[in-house]
Amino acid sequence: MTIFEEPNMNESTSRIQFQFGQAKGRLAQHLRAIDDAEAIRDLLEPLADQGHTLRYIAEWLNRRRVVGPQGGIWYPTSVARALDRLGLRRRKAA
């Protein structure tokens, strides 16, 4: 497009709609993750309060076949993210 051509409004509108759709999808995914973490708060909170490591909590959840994020297994990182979403403090075991 040169400076003398009129912009194609359909392209601009489509791009904005696409970006808005992506943002909506990310927000929906984030809200689902918070809901999933809330569903297991009663399991996570005592373990975090007792000072267990992220690895221990992940193994504990997997042994009890608690479904992890996106239907998978738990890893220390996924436990950390769930604790962060719930606003629970993580303390290192003594």
Q: Where are the domains of the chain?
A: 9-86
pLDDT band for position 76 (cuts 50, 70, 90): very high
pLDDT in the model for residue 26: 82
pLDDT in the model for residue 39: 92
- Closest among 70, 94, 69 to 79, alpha carbons compared: 69
H or E stretch at 66: none
pLDDT digits (tens, 9 = 90+) for 13-43: 887 887 878 888 888 878 887 888 899 999 9
Q: E strands of the chain, at which residues?
A: none
Q: What is the dihedral of CA 37, 43, 45, 46, to 10 degrees?
A: -170
pTM above 0.75, yes or no: no
pLDDT in the model for residue 81: 93
